[in-house]
């Protein structure tokens, strides 16, 4: 129960757990955030397949899952407009991909958004809700564009089920994180906001783990020329 009794900013078991997790992320570079697909690369052909694929896609893509969790945490400090805006932006982004609109730098933007989300968690500066909601929608646009890769060419029934699936799972995770965090901060344990610093730094670390390899891949060809 060490974790629950510490309110004075001392290094606790929880802090050490976050530090270890961040160190592991820094050592083990994640796989590229390409098109994640739970159907072994097969296109969903039924409503059930489309729905299950939509549920799984944001979860098996670690960069996507990390930002959904970050959006839930930021909902506590910045308001629910941020996670809701992110989910709505995801729908729009998938629509752009399905409409064959070219959106460059998607994976780079997703990694950069993780770094920014972590920094916002650590700083805890309050911004106007509409600015953050708009920013979250733009970030959601990038994530949704990446989701669209897995469903291009599908029939309308599995396509609609896919959209429903990834919308519901993102809302469930983000709102679940928001609710649990609010309970810990405002409930009988009364954690201070500084307890959000460690997960904020972990999210920054995850973002950098995705961002650095992409930046190196962009810079090396230019340097070799």
> Distance between CA 3 and CA 202 in Å, rounded?
18
pLDDT score for 62 = 84
- In a domain, residue 212? The reply is yes
Residues 206, 63 contacting (CB under 8 angstroms): yes
In the numeric block, the tokens 């670690």 are attached to 62
Per the structure, the complete domain to which residue 88 belongs is given by 43-224
Instruction: Work out the mean pLDDT of the chain and round it to a whole number.
Output: 80
Number of structural domains in the chain:
1
When pLDDT is averaged across residues 99-122 and rounded to a whole number, the result is 91
**17-26, 100-109, 199-208: range with lowest mean pLDDT:** 17-26
- In a domain, residue 36? The reply is no
> Distance between CA 138 and CA 161 in Å, rounded?
23
- In a domain, residue 12? The reply is no
pLDDT score for 157 = 93
- In a domain, residue 76? The reply is yes
Please report which confidence band the pLDDT of residue 162 belongs to, taking 50, 70 and 90 as the band edges. very high
Q: What are phi and psi of 11, to 5 degrees?
A: -70, 120
> Distance between CA 221 and CA 208 in Å, rounded?
20
Question: pLDDT tens digits, residue range 32-49?
Answer: 444 445 566 678 888 999
- In a domain, residue 220? The reply is yes
- Which tokens sit at 34? 């390409």
pLDDT score for 29 = 45
Residues 85, 134 contacting (CB under 8 angstroms): yes
Question: pLDDT tens digits, residue range 54-105?
Answer: 988 888 888 888 999 999 999 988 888 899 999 999 999 999 999 989 988 8
Q: What angle do CA 57, 146, 41 make, to 5 degrees?
A: 55
Q: Which segment, 18-27, 133-142, 146-155, is predicted with the most confidence on average?
A: 133-142
Please report which confidence band the pLDDT of residue 22 belongs to, taking 50, 70 and 90 as the band edges. low
pLDDT score for 24 = 54
Estimate to the nearest angstrom the gap between the alpha carbon of 98 and the chain centroid: 21
- In a domain, residue 20? The reply is no
- In a domain, residue 75? The reply is yes
């Amino acid at each position: 129960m060490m974790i629950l009794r510490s309110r004075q900013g001392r290094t606790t078991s929880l802090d050490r757990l976050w530090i270890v997790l961040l160190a592991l992320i820094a050592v083990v570079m994640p796989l590229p955030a390409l098109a994640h697909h739970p159907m072994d690369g097969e296109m969903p052909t039924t409503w059930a397949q489309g729905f299950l694929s939509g549920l799984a896609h944001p979860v098996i893509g670690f960069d996507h899952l990390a930002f959904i969790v970050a959006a839930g945490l930021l909902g506590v400090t910045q308001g629910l407009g941020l996670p809701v805006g992110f989910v709505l932006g995801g729908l729009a982004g998938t629509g752009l991909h399905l409409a064959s609109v070219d959106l460059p730098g998607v994976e780079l933007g997703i990694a950069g958004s993780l770094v920014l989300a972590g920094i916002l968690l650590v700083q805890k500066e309050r911004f106007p809700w509409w600015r953050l909601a708009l920013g979250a929608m733009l970030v959601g646009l990038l994530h949704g564009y990446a989701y669209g890769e897995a469903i291009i060419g599908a029939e309308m029934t599995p396509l609609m089920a896919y959209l429903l699936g990834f919308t519901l799972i993102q809302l469930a995770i983000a709102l679940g994180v928001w609710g649990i965090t609010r309970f810990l901060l405002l409930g009988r344990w009364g954690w201070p906001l500084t307890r959000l610093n460690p997960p904020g730094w972990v999210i920054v670390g995850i973002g950098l783990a995705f961002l650095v390899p992409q930046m190196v891949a962009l810079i090396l060809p230019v340097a070799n020329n």
